[in-house]
Amino acid sequence: MSVSEFLDSELFPYMVSIRRDLHQHPELGMHETRTAQVVARELEQMGLEVTTNVATTGVVGILSGSQPGRVVGLRADMDALPIQDAKIDCPYRSQTEGIMHACGHDGHVAMLLGVAKYLSERREQLQGTVKFFFQPAEEGPGGAESMIQEGVLDNPKVEAVFGAHLWNDLPVGKIGLHYGTHMAAVDQVRITVHGEAGHGASPHQAVDAIVAAAQAVTALQTVVSRQIDPVHPAVLSIGTINGGYRHNVIADKVEMTGTLRTLYPFTKQRIKERIEQVLSGITAAFGAKFDFELIRVYPATVNAESTTRLTEAVVTDLLGSDGLLIQTEPSMGSEDFSFFSQAVPGTFMYVGSKNPAKGFAHPHHHPNFDFDEDALGYGAAVMAESALRFLQQG
């Protein structure tokens, strides 16, 4: 296989067409109805066995080769974000007010459909089975775990899984790989500070929840910076704070939410304990009380040695050593591909999609986000060849 089979053939305009169609019609997590219909239609036209309405809007396609063998899974996420598309002059700009594909998931769907098309046309030479997972709601509330609970890794049982993310931190033509813990676990922080309401002119007769909450926010910044080993990465950020009723009423309740990112379970446990201690001390000092919840969102994404080694060889063979970037530092971002890689050996790769010369340099989740569509060819080629080599190992 070569990258040119994806960049210089009918597969490339096919992927671009799919991507632009989805970009114009973005849908939020668990509402990807039209997207799922497009995916199911394309897979059925390729002759795959298709199951819809998996974990609400997910789609699974099964491609069985002419010979029995191993089973490999390939995954793409489908959901968009509640962001207004600011690309005014873009011909494929989002047509849905307040929603856009600002993280490249439209490209992920297009890449995986390109892989499915390529492999389905070579069914007679295919040994084993490829399962294609088109997953809802990666941006939230999360669809991977629900798909797995509904049995997508069984019948036939998947032995390895590969996933990819278009990445505007890497130039187009590069593939980023990381061995071991690749992306952080993420937990949602919920804090409520309870005081006693009173008149703004008589603060001594009340317990000001806003003052207590403000002190807590400041103190929580020291949990990571001063109470966690610096070689154990962690991020604790308070993202929202809401409280009060009126300018002259002392608030009796403040609600805060935030995010905790960690790479190791023991770091998460330590931070959880320290948050509780900080909140306990500060609220006690003000005569207030608190409620605290740490809600698991996604576990850490861990790349298996075996599948990552295989993909490294694929990238080197297809793109040369210059096309491979072995990343030594993990990302504090998170991904619910983690549920797949917890269940079976898996590898999640970054597909370079940045090209400032063409104007594709904005970061993910930006209202002007876009990417160099040449990345679709590179990503699809690496995913297809990784799947083929895994099957051939049997």
Q: Show the tokens assigned to 384.
A: 């297809």
Catalytic member of 298, 350, 378, 385: 298
Is 14 considered catalytic here?
no
Residue 15 phi/psi, 5-degree rounding, is: -65, -40
Buried b (16+ CB within 10 A) or exposed e, 233-260: bbebebeebebeeeeeebbbbbebbbbb
Catalytic member of 27, 159, 373, 385: 373
Dihedral over Cα of 153, 300, 333, 310: its sign: negative
Closest CA to 118 of 379, 393, 392: 379
Q: How would you list the strands of the sheet with 289-298, edge to edge?
A: 234-243, 253-262, 185-194, 289-298
- Kindly report the length of the chain: 394
Helix (H) or strand (E) holding 55: none
Is 118 considered catalytic here?
no
Residue 80 phi/psi, 5-degree rounding, is: -105, -170
Provide the strand spans (E) within 27-156: 49-54, 58-64, 67-77, 127-135
Reduced DSSP (H G I as helix, E B as strand, rest coil) percent helix, strand, coil of the chain, to 5: 35, 30, 35
Cite the active site residues: 298, 373
